[in-house]
Structure 1
């Protein structure tokens, strides 16, 4: 396979192009481009850089539909309504006293269940962690630090539209407002 300006593509580049060409959806009214047939590769040792390039670009070549949706901050109007008590929180989960793995599983199940019920705003109480110094290597406020990280993970992004620290009346720094995405119904 030849590239523009007379350069010849390496076998790794050609394999990458064939992989990308198979994943591309043609424009309406256009026929799909068939990738060139794969010639029998000569036994050669692949260089580390070309293997890394193929791996990196194959991750980037995934269809856009698999990409996690972006997070959005909670709108100012909604925050004001929450602060004034004009808008209530639809559901609450308290993660106090749970270990990280228990809290993570409980949070995932809670968010899936609440999205199915049509919940718009959920309150996730993590606790602030105590002011006392940690003893014997124990960390304080682990859930307070980990829950925002979990909410940003790709497994929860289809559920979570955005999140922010709660107002003082709902727990302040020890709680988060989580805005859930609407569950899309798949029609015919």
Structure 2
């Protein structure tokens, strides 16, 4: 068997130069020998957490709440109508307002929108309020119902009671906004959160 010839000094120098230019296939892997000789890499400085984004102005004051319990989910993306109406300035007589919100004033007329679609309910409400105003009535009751919460297959976000949320907006928009003086959630004897007191101007 032929004996292997060792590398000459010139060949060893050439090989060293070639090896120095080679790039490793796995840079993260280090041989045990080289790892023991080279100092450990310095720990990177911890990065500061970026500041939380500020809530856009159009969404400030909105309340987001969710419930996931295997039996459905719900999210409220706006304050409840009762809370929103309670923040509006008082434009009617204070004593009359107190009697009204305590359920001590009997509505002079009422309309029940419960079960109607939005497309049907809005013109019905407009006609009712205009007629009550023409007849000189002051306090009327608008019944919307509380609405149903979405089931497990309902899309998110689910906001129960579309009529309950839309009616206050309709009452503040033309042509009703000019003749409606005050809107408040009804006392429980007149429907509670499922109805509104609407106090009309003279």
TM-score normalized by the length of structure 1: 0.53
1:127 paired with 2:127, answer no
* 2:103–2:189 Cα contact (<8 Å) kept: no
Q: Secondary structure at the match of 1:161?
A: strand
Let me know the Cα RMSD of the aligned residues: 2.5
Inter-CA distance 136–113: structure 2 relative to 1 (3 Å threshold): same
1:172 paired with 2:192, answer yes
Distance 1:82 1:161 in 2: 13
Matching of residues 56-135 of structure 1 within 5 Å: 72-82=90-100, 86-131=104-149, 133=151, 135=153
* 1:166–1:172 Cα contact (<8 Å) kept: yes
How many residues are treated as equivalent by the alignment? Answer: 113
Deviations 1:3-28 (A, max 9, x none): xxxxxxxxxxxxxxxxxxxxxxxxxx
Distance 2:93 2:172 in 1: 18
Deviations 1:130-168 (A, max 9, x none): 245374447530000000111111321122111111111
* 1:134–1:140 Cα contact (<8 Å) kept: no
Residue of structure 2 equivalent to 1:153: 173
Shift, 1:85, TM fit: 5.3
Q: Secondary structure at the match of 1:112?
A: helix
Q: Structure 1: which 5+ residue stretches go unaligned?
A: 1-70, 183-188
1:163 paired with 2:191, answer no
Find the structure with the greater CA-based Rg. 2
